[in-house]
Amino acid sequence: MLGMIGLFGGLALLIYLTMKGMNLLIAAPLMALLVAILNGLPIFPQLAEEGAANFLTNYMSGFTGFIGSWYLMFIAGAIFGKVMEDSGAADSVSRWIVSKIGMKRAVLAVVIACAVLTYGGVSLFVVAFSVYPMAISLFRQADLPRRFIPAALAFGSTTFTMTSAGSPEIQNWIPIEFLGTTPYAGWEVSIIVAVFMMVFGYWWLKKMILKAVSKGERFVGRDTDPTTEARTELPDPLLSMVPLLVVLAISFFFHNSLGTSALIIALTGGVIATYLINRKYFQDIGKAFGEGAMGAVVAITNTAAVVGFGGVVKATPAFTTAVDFVTGIPGSPLIGGAVAVGAIAGITGSSSGGQAIALPLLAPHYLDLGVNAEALHRTVAISSGSLDHLPQGGYVVTTIRSICGETHKDAYPALGAVTVVVAGLGVVLAIILFSLGLGI
């Protein structure tokens, strides 16, 4: 009982400290230490039997293991995003979308701009950085409350695109290693779920914004707000989409032979294509590479800090009990897989981190039961993108605080609604469709 209190109490305190503004690099190891103590784990390896679990070893193994596995993908994605930004390609694509959709649909324009960049392979964190200046301009002109910008960015980047079939984001590629599938696993169901999440999520986001406007909320500018008017010469928007297509094409042709490594090549190809097509529009390509690398370090370190927390949790007896309970849930095994991955993603605050911890344990169990690998791939991918958006999640903290300059109190309710709830409903729909035999 004390172990369970430590497990869920540590998670609850981590969420609370994050909501209060504590840095994840401090909060995550502190709460991991609390979980370890209440579960009876030794703090240092010198105090444990040889090879036995302890706080320091398990935390740092989770922390460094995640970085070791995914650093090159993070940095390739971040640099790709920064060169798209520095060349003006990301801005050009965003403005072109706005010109076609219209200023009256400012929220939809932000969502679609994020979706196009995300499905084109640009790192989630970089998409938020790239589209935020455009979002500020659109929300200002439409006079909409700025506290909804994080929700619009997250909804367009991390729901119907990030975990969909064919997406170059790592959340769609991690299951390949453990399930022997492809990034297009369960594509029939994926299309239906993605359309549902987009339509329902956008309707809900618009409803929340209109309700706030009806109560008198308006856009409030700040001296620190970025402007998009300063740059007038931009590359052709259609040519600017070519690097996005290059990323998708390379990942499509090489995913069978190279697996997850194909994504590194694809994103590198996107960087090269951006340079070749838009090289005359670059402002400072060296700076773009440097900022991309630093952005990747920040993003992956924030994520790894919470994955380290998950590494300690994974070593506790309480975690084993919880996994046994989840995998024993009656009904479709897809339910247990979705709940387990979603819960661990919530504990680690990371969709990719949740998969990296859960799948090595769960994949053999469910495959031995005869569960369809493609159905399991798509279900756990979508599920990983739900509870990872709890307040302490690395992406959530970065987007709300670092990028948008908002507080969790103001911005998180809407963000949580269109990510946690909408993605959760998407998981339910996917399980139902797979259970009916669609896509299997």
Give the integer Cα–Cα distance in Å for 148 and 412. 9
Contact 261, 168 (CB under 8 A): no
The pLDDT, as a whole number, for residue 409 is 87
Closest C-alpha to 94, from 73, 76, 120: 120
φ and ψ at residue 320, rounded to 5 degrees: -60, -40
How much is the pLDDT for 55? Answer: 93
Question: Which residues of the chain are under the pLDDT cut of 70?
Answer: 102-104, 123, 125-126, 129-130, 133, 224-232, 255-256, 259-260, 327, 439-440
Q: What is the pLDDT of residues 232-276, one digit of tens each?
A: 688 888 898 888 888 878 877 786 677 667 778 888 998 999 999
Model pLDDT for residues 5-18, shown as the tens digit of each residue = 888 888 889 888 87
Q: In this predicted structure, what is the pLDDT of residue 102? A: 66
The pLDDT, as a whole number, for residue 130 is 65
Give the C-alpha separation, 240 to 125, whole Å: 19
pLDDT at 103: 60
What's the confidence (pLDDT) of residue 276? Answer: 93
- Reference 381, options 163, 228, 170, 187; nearest CA is 163
Q: Is 291 helix (H, G, I), strand (E, B) or coil?
A: helix
Q: Give the tokens for residue 129.
A: 């950085």
